[in-house]
Chains A and B, each alone.
Chain A
């Protein structure tokens, strides 16, 4: 069974930084691309970033480009999202997800990030 568990969310002040982690199990982590998707309160899903299985290919949504850095440690089956220069509109539940063949197939339960003073 695929299991994705996010951690690291919390309250942070505007301009601050936070690192999210996602621990994966139940599949060969290094063989799959991974992605982060967020859902701001009262709004819809927004794709944030994606990374290839090797970690060599990275892509970001324009809204986070230059502020967020996605990475992975295949030896630890862990995905990361380093977020800096956080703004109020970054407040959201952040989901870690596994992708395959152009599909987002499995999702974690999410971790809440609140950016507020």
Chain B
């Protein structure tokens, strides 16, 4: 069982906003300042979309945003598009070149 808990699936219609939560369930996982989010389309490599809780790498749409409250980090996707249908993972750095991933959330765009 991962130390980061995500919902298995979320869905939304085009144009809507959705939020994926990531809750820390273990004290072994580091600070949420080091939470990142990855998008992975089928048969593709994961892509970093949010770093340090709320920073977007260059080239990532501003429809993607991150936040945190208490033990929970969240990824919000606004203005849903068909191309956003994908798997999303939260990830926390645990120090010394080690990481913990959430189990992943499958986003379906209806």
Hey, which bits of chain A sit against chain B, CB under 8 A?
33, 35, 37, 39, 43-47, 50-52, 57, 59, 95, 99, 102-105, 107-110
Contacts and interface: CB of A to CB of B under 8 A. Distances in A.
Contacts of A104: 36, 38, 46, 48, 91, 99
A59 B40 contact: no
Which 10 residue pairs spanning A and B have beta carbons closest together? A50-B97, A44-B104, A102-B93, A107-B45, A47-B99, A45-B101, A102-B34, A44-B103, A33-B97, A59-B98
B50 to A, nearest CB: 10
A46 to B, nearest CB: 6
Nearest to B104: A44
Given A59-B96, A104-B91, A110 B102 contact: no
Interface of B: 2, 30, 34, 36, 38, 40, 44-48, 51-52, 57, 87, 89, 91, 93, 96-104
A105 B48 contact: yes
Given A44-B102, A45-B38, A104-B36, A57 B97 contact: yes
Given A44-B102, A45-B89, A103 B36 contact: yes
Contacts of A103: 34, 36, 48, 51-52, 93
A99 B51 contact: no
Given A37-B46, A45-B89, A57-B97, 15 more contacts: A35-B97, A44-B89, A44-B102, A45-B91, A47-B101, A50-B96, A50-B98, A52-B97, A57-B96, A103-B48, A104-B36, A104-B99, A107-B45, A109-B45, A110-B45
B59 to A, nearest CB: 13
Contacts of A57: 96-97
Contacts of B36: 103-104
Contacts of A47: 98-101
